[in-house]
Amino acid sequence: MNPLLEVNQLTGGYSIGRPVLHDVSFAIEPGEMVGLIGLNGAGKSTTMKHILGLLEPQTGQIRLGGKALDENPEQYRASMAYVPESPILYDALTVREHLIWSATAYGVEERTYEERLVHLAKLFHMTPHLDKAAQHLSKGMRQKTMLMSAFLVRPPLYVIDEPFLGLDPLGIRSLLTFMNRMKEEGASLLVSSHILSTIEDYCDRFVLLHHGKVLVAGTADELREKLAARGGQEARTTRLEDVFYAWVGADDEDGGELIWRD
Amino acid sequence: MARLRVNARAPKFQGRLLQDTEQLWRYRVQEFWGEVIPYLGYVIQSGLGFVIAFVFIAGTALYASFLDQIPAGFPVRELGWMLLSPIVAYTTYRTFLQSADLGYLLRLEHRMNRYMKRSVRYSLMPRMVLLMAACLIYWPLYSRADEAPKPLFVLLAAFVVLKFVAAYGAWGERHMHDRRLKLACRIIRYAWSWGAAACWLWLDIGMAGLWTGLGGLIYIAAIWKLPKLAFPWEEHIALEQVHRNRIYTFLSGFVDLPTMNNRRFSRPWLHALGNRYAFQKKKAYRYLLVKSFVRSELLGIVLRLIVIGIILLWWTKDSIWSSLLLLLLMITIHAQLKALLQLHRHDVWLKLYPVANQDRSVAISGVYAQVLGLCVLLLLLPVIAGGLSIQAKGGIGLGAAAAYVLLCWQRKHAIERLISTEEEE
C-alpha cells in the first residue's frame, strides 16, 4: 500500500541556516493514526506547518497522496484538514457559518453537510450554540468549532495539533470516539499531544521528536522494546508516558532529574 | 504597493516603569508612535499629502470667493449645526493599555490615577484643537451670513464647554458595566450634544446659556450617579485595541500591513445576506467575504457615508452641483471599499483551504461592484426627486453609470494585480 503522507528527510524551520528540524522522515498509511510526540520546542508544530505548506522545506520532500504541494496545490489542500493548537476563528461568523464556509470551500454538498452537521453538533454538544457568534464562544466551544469544521469535510488526512486543549472530559471522549471512527472509515490522522495517556490506546504508531530529530518511531510496544534494548530500566508493561520520560526526560538539559517534592 | 512586515519589536523590560506609572505612560506613547511613524512616509509618498495640500489650497480659495457672494437665505445655522455637533459629540480616549496589563498592572490599579490623567489629557487635547479649528473656519461665514451672530469668543467658549460636558459623559459611559445603560447614555450624549449645539446657534446667549447650563448640569449629575466600575480594565483594553486597529487599517491602505482583528457588529437583520453563495465551491470566498463585510466596521462607515450623502444631496437636489457631490461621494465610498481587499488577506485559512486565487479575485470584485452599485442607486434617489430637468437628471444618471464602470474596472485590475503579486511571492 502506498503511504498517504510521506515526510522524507525534511530539514526546515523559520530561518535558513538555522533549521529547527533535521532530517525528519516518517510516513502515514491510509487508515492510520500517528501520534507526534515530544517536549515543548521539539519541533512538532514546525513539522505540521511544513506538512501544511506554511513553511518551505530547506531540504527534503513532503508528498501527500503522491503529490507535492507545488505540483497541485488545490488537490494537496483538499486532501487535508487542519486543527490548530489555538482555535483560529472568524469573530464575525457564527459556528454554523464556519461550518458552511468549510463545506463550501471543500465542495461538500448541502445534503451531506446537513447530515454531518446534525451528527457532529450532537457529538460535541454544540446544537444549542450553532448560531452563536465565534467571539461569544468559550475556549472549549471554539476548539469544538475547529474540530467540527475539520471533521465535516472528511478529507483523507487530518492534521490535529494538541486537540484536547480546552476540551472538557466529555468533549475529549467524543473526539477520541470520532477520530477512531474516521480511522475505521479509512482516514489518516496525525495528532500531536502532550497528553500521552489519552492517545496511547488510540494511536497506531508514534513518532518521538526531540530537538528537531526523530528519536524513535514505531508502535507503543516497539517504543518499549527499543527502550529496553537501549538499556532502559522500564518494564515492558510501563505506560507510554514513562517510556517517553525515560527517552527524553533524563536527556533534557533542565529538570531531567527533578521531581515535584524538590 | 510596498510590502512590509509588522514590526515585531521585542518589548523592553518595563519593570522599573511600573514604579512610576506616568513614566510607563510616556514609554507606551513613544512606543506607539515609534511603531506608526515609519509607515507615515509611505502615506505621504502615496500622494495623500499632495491631495490634502491641494484640497486645502483650493478649498481656501473657493471659501474666500464664496464669502464675497453668500446667497441670500443661506442656511448658515444648519451648516454650523451639521459641522460642529458631531465634533462636540464624538469623543474617544486613548489609554495605550494592553491585554497583558490585566495580569501585570491590575495590582497597581491604585497607582494608575496619574497614568489615566495623562491619557485623558492626551485624548482631549487634539479633539479640542479640532473643535476650535472648526469654529474658526466656520466663523467668517457665520459672522457674515447669520442675522444675529454671537461674538467669536462666546461661540468658542460655549462650544469648548459643551465638548467638556460630552467628554465627561463619554468617560462616564466607558466606566459603565451595563451594556443597555451604556447604549442609552451614548444616545443621550449625542442627543444632548446636537441639542446644545442647536441652542447656541439658534437662541440668544442668555437662553442658550440657561438651557444648555441646566441640561448640562442634569446630564453630568445623571452620569455621576449612575452605577460605574472604578477601573474598567477590559473596556479600556478593548477600546484601545479598536483604536489601534483603525490606525492600522488606515495604514494598510498605503502599505502592505496585516490588519488586526477589527471590531465586529452582530447586525442580526443582515444574517441572510451571503447565504445564496453557500455550497457553491467557486463562491466559497464570496460567502466568507459577504458574511464578514455585513458585520464589519466597514459597512458602518459606508452606511454613514450614504446617510450623509443623501442628506447633502437632498439639500442640493435642485442644483447641478449635486452631480459633483455625487461623484465625490462615489470616490469616497470607492476609497473606503478598498478595505475589502484586506479583509481576509492574511488569514491562515486562505492558505490552507482549497480556495483558488482566481475565485478570490472574482469574489472581491463582485462584492465591491455590488456594494458600490447599491450605494450609487441610493445616492441617486434625492437627485431623481429634485427639481432639475429630465435631461439634467438623465445626464447625471449616465455620468454616475460611467463613473461606476470606470471605478469597477480600476478596482478589478488593482485586485488582480495584488493577487498575482501574492502568487509570485
Whole-model pTM?
0.76
Residues of chain B positioned with their CB less than 8 A from the CB of A97: 291
Interface of B with A in 178-197 (CB under 8 A): none
Contact between A209 and A215 (Cβ < 8 Å): yes
How far is B278 from chain A, CA to nearest CA, in Å? 6
B266 in contact with A, Cβ within 8 Å: yes
Which of B5, B291, B344, B357 is the best mutation test for A, with the most CBs of A within 10 A?
A: B291
pLDDT for residue A233: 61
A107 in contact with B, Cβ within 8 Å: yes
Helices marked H in B253-356: 284-294, 297-315, 321-336, 339-342, 348-352
Amino acid, single-letter form, for residue B372:
L
B272 in contact with A, Cβ within 8 Å: no
How far is B317 from chain A, CA to nearest CA, in Å? 38
CB within 8 Å: A108 and B261: no
CB within 8 Å: B356 and A97: no
Please, which residues bridge with residue A15 across strands?
A: A18
pLDDT for residue B363: 95
CB within 8 Å: B348 and A88: yes
Which of B265, B276, B281 is the best mutation test for A, with the most CBs of A within 10 A?
A: B281
Which of B345, B349, B422 is the best mutation test for A, with the most CBs of A within 10 A?
A: B349
How far is B266 from chain A, CA to nearest CA, in Å? 7
Residues of chain A positioned with their CB less than 8 A from the CB of B425: none
Q: Which of B277, B287, B352 sits opposite A52 (nearest CB)?
A: B352
Dump the DSSP string for B223-268: HHHS---S--HHHHHHHHHHHHHHHHHHHHTTSB----PPPB---G
Residues of chain B positioned with their CB less than 8 A from the CB of A74: 354, 356
Alpha-carbon span A168 to A125, nearest angstrom: 11
Length of chain A: 262
Domain ranges of chain A: 87-154
Residues of chain A positioned with their CB less than 8 A from the CB of B266: 133
A238: its cell numbers: 510501563
Contact between B119 and B238 (Cβ < 8 Å): no
Q: Which of A53, A75, A109 sits opposite B279 (nearest CB)?
A: A109
Contact between A191 and A36 (Cβ < 8 Å): yes
Domain ranges of chain B: 16-242, 264-424
Would you give the DSSP letter of residue A248? I
Q: Tens digit of pLDDT per residue, chain B (425 long)?
A: 444 444 444 445 455 666 678 888 999 999 999 988 888 887 777 777 777 888 888 888 889 888 988 888 888 999 999 999 999 999 999 999 988 888 778 778 888 899 999 999 999 999 999 999 999 999 999 999 999 999 999 999 999 999 999 999 999 999 998 888 999 999 999 999 999 999 999 999 999 999 999 999 999 999 999 998 889 998 999 999 889 888 887 887 777 666 555 678 888 899 999 999 999 999 999 999 999 999 988 898 899 889 988 988 888 888 888 898 899 899 989 988 988 888 888 788 888 899 888 999 999 999 999 999 999 999 999 999 988 899 999 999 999 999 999 999 999 999 998 888 877 76
Q: Grid coordinates 494537496 are at which residue?
A: A76
Interface of B with A in 277-296 (CB under 8 A): 277-281, 283-285, 287-288, 291-292, 295-296
How far is A38 from chain B, CA to nearest CA, in Å? 25
What is the interface size between A and B, counted as CB pairs within 8 Å? 71
In 3D space, the residue among A251, A171, A191 whose CA is nearest the CA of residue A45 turns out to be A191
Would you give the DSSP letter of residue A252? S
Q: Which SS3 state, helix, strand or coil, does residue B194 take?
A: helix
Contact between A207 and A37 (Cβ < 8 Å): yes
pLDDT for residue A262: 34
B300 in contact with A, Cβ within 8 Å: no
Residues of chain B positioned with their CB less than 8 A from the CB of A107: 281, 354
Q: Grid coordinates 466529555 are at which residue?
A: A170
A106 in contact with B, Cβ within 8 Å: yes
Q: At what angle do helices B113-145 and B48-68 cross, to 10 degrees?
A: 40
Q: Tens digit of pLDDT per residue, chain A (262 long)?
A: 689 999 999 999 887 778 999 999 999 999 999 999 988 888 999 999 999 988 889 999 999 999 998 888 888 989 999 999 888 888 889 999 999 999 999 999 999 999 999 999 999 999 999 999 988 899 899 999 999 999 999 999 999 998 888 888 888 888 998 999 999 999 999 999 877 888 888 899 999 999 999 988 999 888 888 877 776 665 555 777 787 777 776 555 554 444 444 3
B203: its cell numbers: 437662541
Measured between CA atoms, the residue of chain B closest to residue A146 is B349
Alpha-carbon span B38 to B251, nearest angstrom: 11
Interface of A with B in 134-153 (CB under 8 A): 135
B349 in contact with A, Cβ within 8 Å: yes
How far is B371 from chain A, CA to nearest CA, in Å? 19
How far is A260 from chain B, CA to nearest CA, in Å? 26
A91 in contact with B, Cβ within 8 Å: yes
Q: Give, for B143, the enclosing helix (H) or strand (E).
A: helix B113-145
Residue A76, Cβ density class (10 Å: 0-12 exposed, 13-18 middle, ≥19 buried): buried
Phi, psi at residue B333, to the nearest 5°? -65, -40
CB within 8 Å: A101 and B284: yes
Contact between A158 and A187 (Cβ < 8 Å): yes
Alpha-carbon span A206 to A26, nearest angstrom: 10
**Where are the extended beta strands (E) located within A89-165?**
157-161
Residues of chain B positioned with their CB less than 8 A from the CB of A84: 348
Alpha-carbon span B218 to A160, nearest angstrom: 59
A110 in contact with B, Cβ within 8 Å: yes
Measured between CA atoms, the residue of chain A closest to residue B296 is A92
How far is B333 from chain A, CA to nearest CA, in Å? 22
Buried b (16+ CB within 10 A) or exposed e, B58-75: eeeeeeeeeeeeeeeeee
B321 in contact with A, Cβ within 8 Å: no
A14 in contact with B, Cβ within 8 Å: no
- ipTM rounded to 2 decimals: 0.81
CB within 8 Å: A105 and B279: no
Measured between CA atoms, the residue of chain B closest to residue A109 is B279
B241 in contact with A, Cβ within 8 Å: no
Alpha-carbon span B242 to B249, nearest angstrom: 10
CB within 8 Å: B279 and A103: yes
**What is the residue-averaged pLDDT of chain A?**
87
A170 in contact with B, Cβ within 8 Å: no
